[in-house]
């Protein structure tokens, strides 16, 4: 059984930073010198999906700018409560792909493990914003059930830790969990999907780097940044520390209306990521989750944007434009529209 706790007196910096996050919309708007327009409707949106914004991320927002691209990712809006055709609470039908609580099996040779329902930041476009986390988390005893499933299936080569955000779990527990995964002989790769190193860079601790170095599994971190202003000096340092510990560090973004739907923005993001030691990996079309329709960018426009990126950048800095559809055996890579010069 996986165990491990940390007393309040030993609480690491990243946990203290999380406790200081904005969870009140009026307080966030006051911090940013913004008027509380349409506040009643926006507050009702937080009843469906709570606000959480780390102060470190809020400090990267432009005060007085209601269209700040980082703010728009986390700002509750009344439009979230309006129904949109094709947008559902389980857009990828993950509930149908869960053989045991906490585990999702969609692709051959890989299993995705939801080890935490907590996140450092609540992004309004999150495709799991309606996910029933309590039904999939039974902590120690639930983890053992998942481990038994992974051990029994010799076809598995890769396990993906996801959430929520897996780095919301303390390093002691993660170290014990990863050590157990390393004992499963047919597993070769450990992939970790996380937003923590970008939004709260202090999460990349010495303890984290130790368990990353200790595992025999080939480790891949897939971080998540959507706009170049998210990659400040502290995020650059955190990503560099991860890369220096040995893992491959990749980034995935979501194409979001009003945030990053321009080739020059995504070009700058790719360059900043590369400078920090991370490679652009995926650019996702928005998953049609209820509450996020206002972020949608049509596929034709997305192809044009990535086509213009390809004309500006070397191939290794151009993320693959992908769409995920329920029931398919892999993400669908979309062809891009070539741009003549």
DSSP string across 278-302:
-EEEEEEPPP-BTT-GGG---HHHH
Give kind and range of the element (H or E) at residue 212: helix 206-214
Rounded distance between C-alpha atoms, residue 89 and residue 216, angstroms: 38
Residue 339 has what pLDDT? Answer: 61
Q: HSE of 215 in the Cβ direction (CA atoms, 13 Å)?
A: 29
Can you tell me which residue has the tokens 């099996």?
105
φ/ψ (deg, to 5) at 203: -65, -20
Contact assessment for residue 295 and residue 93, using Cβ atoms and an 8 Å cutoff: no
Apex 303 CA angle, 228 and 57, nearest 5:
20
Q: For the chain, list residues with pLDDT below 70.
A: 1-10, 38, 135-142, 337-341
pTM for the complete prediction? 0.92
Tokens of 18: 């999380």
Residue 338 has what pLDDT? Answer: 66
Tokens of 322: 């992908």
Rounded distance between C-alpha atoms, residue 196 and residue 188, angstroms: 24
Query: If 0-12 CB within 10 Å is exposed, 13-18 middle and 19+ buried, where does residue 292 land?
Result: buried
Give kind and range of the element (H or E) at residue 191: strand 189-194
DSSP secondary structure code for residue 87 in this structure: -
Q: Which residues pair with 250 in a beta bridge?
A: 222, 279
């Amino acid at each position: 059984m996986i165990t491990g706790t940390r007393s309040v007196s030993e609480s690491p910096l990243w946990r203290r930073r999380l406790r200081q996050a904005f969870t009140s919309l009026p307080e966030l708007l006051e911090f940013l010198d913004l008027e509380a327009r349409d506040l009643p409707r926006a507050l009702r949106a937080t009843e469906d999906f709570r606000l959480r914004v780390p102060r470190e991320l809020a400090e990267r927002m432009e005060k007085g700018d209601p269209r700040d691209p980082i703010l728009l990712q986390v700002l509750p809006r009344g439009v979230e409560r309006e129904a949109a055709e094709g947008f559902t609470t389980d857009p990828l039908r993950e509930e149908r792909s869960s053989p045991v609580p906490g585990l999702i099996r969609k692709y051959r040779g890989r299993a995705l493990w939801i080890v935490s329902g907590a996140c450092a930041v609540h992004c309004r476009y999150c495709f799991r914003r309606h996910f029933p986390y309590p039904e999939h988390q039974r902590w120690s005893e639930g983890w053992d059930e998942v481990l038994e499933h992974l051990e029994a299936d010799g076809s598995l080569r890769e396990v993906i830790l996801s959430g929520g955000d897996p780095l919301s779990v303390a390093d002691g527990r993660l170290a014990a969990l990863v050590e157990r995964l390393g004992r499963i002989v047919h597993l070769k790769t450990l992939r970790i999907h996380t937003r923590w190193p970008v939004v709260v860079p202090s999460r990349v601790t010495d303890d984290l780097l130790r368990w990353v170095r200790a595992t025999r599994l080939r480790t891949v971190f897939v971080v998540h940044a959507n706009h170049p202003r998210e990659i400040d000096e502290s995020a650059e340092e955190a990503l560099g520390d991860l890369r220096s510990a040995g893992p491959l560090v990749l980034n995935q973004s979501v194409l979001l209306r009003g945030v990053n739907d321009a080739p020059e923005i995504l070009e700058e993001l790719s360059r900043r990521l590369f400078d920090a030691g991370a490679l652009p990996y995926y650019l996702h079309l928005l998953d049609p989750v209820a509450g996020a329709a206002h972020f949608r960018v049509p596929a034709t426009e997305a192809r044009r944007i990535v086509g213009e990126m390809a004309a500006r950048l070397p191939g290794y800095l151009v993320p693959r434009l992908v769409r995920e559809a329920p029931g398919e055996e892999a993400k669908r890579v979309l062809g891009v529209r070539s741009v003549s010069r």
